[in-house]
């Protein structure tokens, strides 16, 4: 999925959500931006697919929470308007590093190998896994597309591993645990 396609899908979904919210609450776009704490000009660019940058991690989560939709729905990865799972802000921002590390290790990849597959510097992976840096939307989408995982799972918004993380990864991780347990018993 190209950045242009993502912007288009984001624009379509956001416009529909703004319209629905206005119909239900009477709040116009400006009031909705105020409620979310998002700059009106930036939000308007997202609505018109004219933004040079996609929403940052914090803003993406804020929009999803405000409209009650999943990140996968908002980014066009799902046709269904999945409901946002209520979680506190601290949880959303703290689970990504853990989930990213779990993904990399379950695929038995070093940070170097992982970064090569994503076409980023190894240091970026280290910073993301340590929680020293928040991922931007382009990075989240790249990880999801490259490894076939859900943005909702990566961001800690949906705990269902098999549905949103991939059965293959779970089986690999389970096998590693079983191997460790056999070693300990010997």
Question: What's the CATH number where 26 sits?
Answer: 1.10.260.40
Given its phi and psi angles, is residue 133 left (phi above 0), alpha (psi -120 to 50 degrees) or beta? beta
Predicted confidence band of residue 161 (pLDDT cuts 50, 70, 90): very low
Angle between helix axes 167-185 and 89-106 (nearest 10 degrees) is: 70
Q: Are 97 and 180 in a shared domain?
A: yes
pLDDT of res. 122: 92
Q: Are 67 and 95 in a shared domain?
A: no
Residue 28 clears pLDDT 60, i.e. is over it: yes
Looking up tokens 């000009």, which residue turns up?
41
Q: Are 37 and 95 in a shared domain?
A: no
Residue 103 clears pLDDT 50, i.e. is over it: yes
Q: Are 38 and 96 in a shared domain?
A: no
Tokens encoding 45: 């660019």
pLDDT of res. 85: 47
With H, G, I as helix, E, B as strand and everything else as coil, classify residue 123: helix
CA torsion 24-27-31-37 (nearest 10°) is -10
Q: Which residues span the domain enclosing 141? A: 89-185
pLDDT of res. 184: 59
- Tell me: the pLDDT tens digits for 37-86? 999 998 998 888 887 777 877 788 788 888 888 777 887 776 555 554 45
Residue pair 71/157 in contact by the 8 Å Cβ criterion: yes
Q: Are 172 and 124 in a shared domain?
A: yes
Task: Report the mean per-residue pLDDT for the chain.
Answer: 77
Q: Are 65 and 105 in a shared domain?
A: no
pLDDT of res. 57: 75
Residue pair 78/44 in contact by the 8 Å Cβ criterion: no
Residue 165 clears pLDDT 70, i.e. is over it: no
Q: Are 42 and 114 in a shared domain?
A: no
């Amino acid at each position: 999925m190209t950045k242009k396609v993502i912007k288009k899908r984001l624009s379509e979904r956001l416009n529909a959500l703004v319209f629905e919210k206005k119909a239900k609450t009477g709040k116009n776009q400006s009031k909705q931006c105020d409620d979310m704490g998002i700059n009106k000009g930036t939000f308007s660019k997202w609505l018109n697919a004219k933004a040079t940058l996609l929403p940052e991690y914090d803003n993406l989560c804020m929009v999803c929470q405000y409209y009650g939709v999943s990140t996968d729905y908002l980014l066009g990865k799902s046709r269904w308007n999945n409901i946002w799972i209520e979680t506190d802000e601290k949880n959303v921002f703290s689970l990504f590093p853990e989930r990213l590390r779990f993904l990399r290790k379950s695929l038995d990849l070093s940070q170097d190998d992982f970064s090569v597959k994503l076409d980023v510097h190894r240091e970026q992976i280290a910073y993301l896994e340590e929680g020293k840096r928040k991922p931007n939307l382009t990075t989240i989408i790249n990880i999801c597309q490259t490894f076939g995982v859900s943005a909702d799972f990566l961001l800690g918004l949906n705990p269902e591993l098999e549905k949103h993380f991939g059965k293959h990864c779970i089986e690999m991780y389970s096998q590693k645990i079983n191997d460790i347990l056999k070693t300990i018993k010997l």
